[in-house]
Amino acid sequence: MVRPQTVIDSWKTVRQDTVQALEDFPADELGFKPSPDLATFGEIARHILDAGHALTGMLLGGVEDMSGPQFREIIPKYAPQLPKDLDAATLAAELRASMDGLVPALAARDGEFYSHIITRFDGQQMTRLEMLQFVKEHELTHRQQLFMYLRLKGIVPATTRRRLAKQGR
């Protein structure tokens, strides 16, 4: 059995590394993208902020059906109300602040809350805990994109730096 606090703690770690990637990337190069058809580094970071905040806000707000056309219409209600273009420092601070606000609210919910079945935007039925795990995995996927962009700039991601430090390198 997966415990909600385990998912929350794991997501906090993922978020810390997302923020670190943003802080490690050259602040004046948020518009970098390795190919014209890809999102920029800054767009990916902003997507992580918006999606994590909105999807979790919907969970906490009691939205039970995220499928159908109303899903896109309710996202702005739960997304952070921030200017479109944020500089790197502000975006990093907002990513931290978002998690600082969400973690206590998520931790305060009980097992009944997390075991409740909802419908995800693709029609799949799952528990709220499974949806929270999905939100974390969504961020993890996009964090990996940020890591790839770091590597293309010759920057070693924090996760690798920690592993190398443990190995004494």
Backbone angles phi, psi at 35, to 5 degrees: -150, 145
* Encoded amino acid at 41, one letter: F
Number of domains making up the chain? 1
DSSP state at residue 36: T
What integer pLDDT is reported at residue 81 of this predicted model?
Answer: 86
pLDDT tens for 59-112 read 999 999 999 888 888 888 888 889 888 999 999 999 999 999 999 999 999 999
The CATH number of whichever domain residue 122 belongs to comes to 1.20.120.450
Domain that holds residue 35: 4-166
